[in-house]
Amino acid sequence: MILFLAGTSDARALAISLMEAGHELLTTVVTENAAMELRKAGLKVYVGRLTNEDFVRMIKEQGFQAVIDASHPFAEEASKNASTAAKEVRVPYIRYERESQTHEGKGVMIVDSYALAAEKAFEKKGVIMLTTGSKTLQVFTEKLLNQPDIRVIARMLPRKDNMEKCELLGFPQRDIVAIQGPFTKEFNKALYNQYGVTTMVTKESGKVGSVDEKVEAAKELGIETIVIKRPKINYENQYSSFADVLAYINKVVITNKTNNG
């Protein structure tokens, strides 16, 4: 059995591919909404955030043969907890990560952190649209909210906890766009025009994260873009294709069966 960190659309697709190949999985996600999609596909799901200790306990108690980490490219804590636990319990750890993309060009600024993105947005002023999610929203509100010559629009998933966080941070309701993508370039352009956006902030999440559509829409409208680079983590056994993950897992399962046989 495999412990599988899911949560994104490509992670769900990979989990289904592994299940169809005959592997038994327990998928883990943070939200009930993400769990619903996995259950529809016939996958077993655990809902909740897991610490390093939680991962160790689960691997030992349920006898997982491997850990596949297909969490979001920016889910640093989850990846570190899973990889550390796998190493401690001595089971293979496999990282699936969608391919990285470069978004260089006129009007595009690449930065290394959320804090630096907030600093650069502050310097630009105007109407700033955040498409970076709610987890790091406070980094931006501390720097940008209630500042003269700055309006901040936050685009995020329509979840109750997101709205509660916005309220706690004093984020105006009129400046919240609670909606779930992926979105086309045309939709992004319409949204930018609706709010008169002058700067868009996003993360380098990869093609599956629809970053291209956001950036290209901004370029066509002459809107400046700030792109936050992925965290630099040296993963062991990292792949960006389903076939490579499946090949590695098949090898692990056969080896385990041979050793236990």
pLDDT digits (tens, 9 = 90+) for 182-226: 889 999 999 999 999 999 999 886 655 567 888 899 999 999 999
Look at residues 16, 17, 44, 30 and name the one whose alpha carbon lies nearest to residue 134. 30
Give me the pLDDT at residue 251, please.
85
Point out the residues of the chain with pLDDT beneath 70.
100-105, 205-210, 254-261
Residue with tokens 């959320």: 114
Looking at residue 230, its pLDDT comes to 81
**Backbone phi and psi for residue 159, each to the nearest 5 degrees, phi listed first:** -115, 150
CA atoms of 243 and 239, how far apart (whole Å): 9
Contact 65, 84 (CB under 8 A): no
Q: CA-to-CA distance for 209 and 132, rounded, in angstroms?
A: 11
Length of the chain: 261
